[in-house]
Amino acid sequence: MDNSQVATAAKPTITNPKLLLWILMIVYVFNFLDRQIVNILAEPISRDLNLSDTQIGLLTGLAFALFYTLLGIPIARYADNSSTNRVGLISISLAVWSAMTALCGLAQNFAQLALARVGVGVGEAGCTPAAHSLITDSVPPEKRSSAIAFYGLGIPIGSLLGLVIGGALNDIYGWRVAFMAVAIPGLILAAFLPFILREPRKAEAAARALSGEKARDALSTKDALKEVYSSRAFVLLAIAASFTAFLSYGKSVWAVILFIRSHGLSPGETGLLLGIVLGVAGMVGTWLGGMMADKFGKIDKRHLLTTPALGMVIATPILFLGYFATDWRVAIILLFVPSALNAAYYGPTYATVQGLVKPEARAVAAAFMLFGQNLIGLGLGPLLFGMMSDAFKPLAGDESVRWVLYGAAWLGLIPAYFFWRASLRLKEELKTG
């Protein structure tokens, strides 16, 4: 049977790439909505359960991130197996984290809420590595940054909805109802997802069987680790992305609290304003980052990472001025541009990672990136910001959060440096397939 007959036999079981991207992006919206809604609810929860800023940092960060990162790598190894149905894996993960989000609304104390947040992290560990692997198998390399950036739009959209919906529901019904309400759409989508998307590996297996081609051998854990960490560019990218996440997650939690404590806005007002303004900024930055990488990466592979490196340098002083402003209107205007520039890293970074390793190690590569981003970023960012805020309170009072954010603005120069260093390795290390 010739190649055209093989392709025709396999074609009916392949999901249209555009539909795949739209559905996976919606799944990622629910991922970040359920993950980030706790940011806008942190202050009401703190008042209700009498929590310290350090405990808020634990709930918004480490309680979620620890189990997310610990389970992420073995789940990614499972996703890389050629017999694994990645669509089914994502569906189960979506159901688990949605159910655990609903349980957050039933918590009566810090320990119960922390355990529920752990459950959210356990569920979400199965989503992004499998999704990145699916996307990479479904789009050509020259469109990969834009495709992964489109999936990454789930971050700002989900965060936007978490702030707006969470703040509004809290003001009307309280924080418990907010948790339960946002969990419902995810549970519904999880039930229908296996009927909407198809696992492309089934079509690939059918095509190989018809052509007599052998299936690719799975990599051992040792070989997968060697494949990932033999790339110097990957290591530099992992450092850059982890530090970016550390700052991003820390700022996203404590900027909300800054507007409530220092600017005197209610959770509902803060959620609406920050959700819309910073959410739109995140969408613009994420999308443009992917588009710029695909456009200029064709000219020179090093330019895949130019936008993240330059963007973070430009964002640094503007971000500082946004935190320094005493009028919330001025502050929110100043935060728009740096928020967009800081979001531009997602598509270029993860598309580059997918191009640095063999297909058999793509989910594991994404999982290791997420390991650093979530353990260091989500796990330690909100927590250390909270600890620093508590430490500054004797001197700064309610302005302690502002002091912490001043430092966070200037630390953005560190990941910019590592993105630039990683870009210098791409001509040598980036694979074409």
Average pLDDT in the 2-13 region? 46
Q: Report the residue count for the chain.
A: 433
Of 111, 62, 85, residue with least CA distance to 203: 85
Cβ atoms 286, 346 nearer than 8 A: yes
Name the amino acid, one letter, at 350. Y
Per-residue pLDDT tens over the stretch 290-317: 999 999 988 888 899 999 999 999 999 9
**What CA–CA distance (Å, rounded) separates 320 from 406?**
6
Residue found under tokens 């909270």: 386
**What CA–CA distance (Å, rounded) separates 366 from 351?**
10
| Phi/psi-derived region of residue 279, left when phi > 0, alpha when psi is between -120 and 50, beta in every other case | alpha
Spacing of C-alpha 228 from chain mean position: 20
Per-residue pLDDT tens over the stretch 22-39: 999 999 999 999 988 988
Q: Go through 409-432 and write b for each residue having 16 or more CB atoms within 10 A of its CB, e for each that does not.
A: beebeebbbbbbbbbebbeebbee
Q: What angle do CA 341, 288, 237 make, to 5 degrees?
A: 65
Q: Residues 337, 339, 344, 346: what is their CA dihedral angle, to the nearest 10 degrees?
A: -170
Provide the token pair at 168: 């509004």
Q: Quick one: pLDDT at residue 211? A: 56
Per-residue pLDDT tens over the stretch 239-278: 999 999 999 888 888 888 899 888 988 888 888 888 888 8
Residue 209 has pLDDT above 70, yes or no: no
Beta strands in 97-189 (DSSP E): none
**What CA–CA distance (Å, rounded) separates 342 from 247?**
10
- Distances, alpha carbon 273 to alpha carbons 47, 219, 256, 283, in Å: 22, 47, 10, 15
Tell me the three state secondary structure of residue 298: coil
**What CA–CA distance (Å, rounded) separates 254 from 409?**
12
Q: What is the DSSP letter of 59?
A: I
Of 245, 217, 235, residue with least CA distance to 352: 235
**What CA–CA distance (Å, rounded) separates 230 from 28?**
30
Q: Quick one: pLDDT at residue 1? A: 45
Q: Most confidently modeled of 31-40, 154-163, 233-242, 384-393?
A: 233-242
Name the amino acid, one letter, at 346. Y
